[in-house]
Amino acid sequence: MTDVTCAIIRDEEERILVVQRGKNSEHPCKWEFPGGKCRSGESYEDCIMREIREELVMEIAICSRLNPVEYDYGIKKIRLIPFVCDTLDDEPQLKEHIAYLWILPADLPSVDFLEADILVAGNYLSLISNIRKNQEDEGCRREKNETMGSSDEQELIDFINRVMSMKEADWLAEAAHANPDLFGKLLEYSLKDDNRLAFKASWILTKVCDKYPEIIRPHLRDVISHLPGIKNDSVTRSFMRILSFEDMRIFREEQHGLLASYCLSGLNSSVTPVAVKAYAMEILYRLTVLYPELGNEVSASIRSAMEEGSPGIISRGRAVLKKITGITSDS
């Protein structure tokens, strides 16, 4: 039996990415969740990250892993290991497939999937259905407590780790806005060595800051100081997203220097995730508004990143370069 990984990739609108095989492939013109076979000694997690980079030139963040499914195609038997993943990339760059679609979960049953992928789609739909049914009951139980901070800490950690849908994250974000203790815990957990917990907590923090950006501002100087030491790409992505929407004038010159150095280093590195590079571009633009003399160095770094970047990076780079040109030409 061959082990194969696949990714249920969701965008910010909770649409799912599906891709179509070519006419000359083993299963002509069938649709599937992207992924591929594991190499010798490779973990399932490393496999799916590599496959998505190679097949689609996309960066993903693993949110959870579903139970594997097995299917006998006659000529081969496979064990398909699905991962639920998030991405901020809008457009995959097809290397092995002939088409792609972003579809809503409710449309998955109408897709002409490979047989094993039909089973995966069914399991995913059952999962999100159960989550939605349980979410209301979970919320009611939480509301019986005076604050979420009064609950057992392990219970809170378990609850955060179970969050999978945007609706759940939004609900917890509202609770964090109403409860400063919970917000503090989310910030604390975002810096933990537990990669799954840190990712989930930082992801929920972005939802809080989307609606109530003022709540994190007193903590942003600490966030900036922690950035160089964060090893979890998903947490880095979340913090950079939060910072990319901020007015740089709220920071001191010292923080400006730290941010500029960190963002330029990230743009010039080949291992920096695509989403982090995109946010770095926006932060550097905002810094250039304050320091026009940065314009030439920032523009050069952005052009360098665009040379080997995904379509999303190229598009973002062009937009930011246009804004920077306006600043430097006026100075």
Residue numbers of the domain that contains 188:
147-330
Residue 175 lies in a domain: yes
Q: What is the pLDDT of residues 129-142, one digit of tens each?
A: 776 666 555 555 55
48 has a pLDDT exceeding 80: yes
| pLDDT the model gives residue 164 | 66
Segment 207-235 shows an average pLDDT of 92
The pLDDT > 90 percentage for the chain reads 57
Neighbour-count burial of 275, counting CB atoms closer than 10 A to its CB (0-12 exposed, 13-18 middle, 19+ buried): buried
Same domain flag for 94 and 155: no
Same domain flag for 111 and 180: no
Q: Give the residue, 226 or 149, on which the prediction is more confident.
A: 226
Same domain flag for 193 and 277: yes
Contacts of 208 (CB under 8 A, 6+ apart): 173, 176, 177, 183, 186, 215, 216
Domain-ending residue, one of 128, 162, 196: 128
Going by C-alpha positions, the residue among 9, 7, 16, 59 that lies closest to residue 35 is 7
Residue 134 lies in a domain: no
144 has a pLDDT exceeding 50: no
Confidence of residue 312 (pLDDT cuts 50, 70, 90): confident
Same domain flag for 123 and 152: no
| pLDDT the model gives residue 19 | 97
| pLDDT the model gives residue 149 | 45
Residue 67 lies in a domain: yes
Structurally, the chain folds into a number of domains equal to 2
CA-CA-CA-CA torsion sign (44, 47, 52, 57) = positive
Same domain flag for 186 and 320: yes
Same domain flag for 163 and 288: yes
| pLDDT the model gives residue 185 | 94
Query: Torsion angle, CA of 265/266/271/277, rounded to 10 degrees?
Result: -160
The rounded mean pLDDT for the chain is: 87
Of 27-31, 61-65, 247-251, 324-328, minimum mean pLDDT range: 324-328
158 has a pLDDT exceeding 80: yes
Q: CATH no. for residue 116?
A: 3.90.79.10
Q: Is 0.75 topped by the overall pTM?
A: no
Going by C-alpha positions, the residue among 61, 77, 57 that lies closest to residue 69 is 77
Cα separation, 78 vs 294, whole angstroms: 53
Of 128-137, 250-259, 309-318, minimum mean pLDDT range: 128-137
Same domain flag for 95 and 177: no
| pLDDT the model gives residue 146 | 44
- Chain-centroid distance of CA 254 in Å reads 29
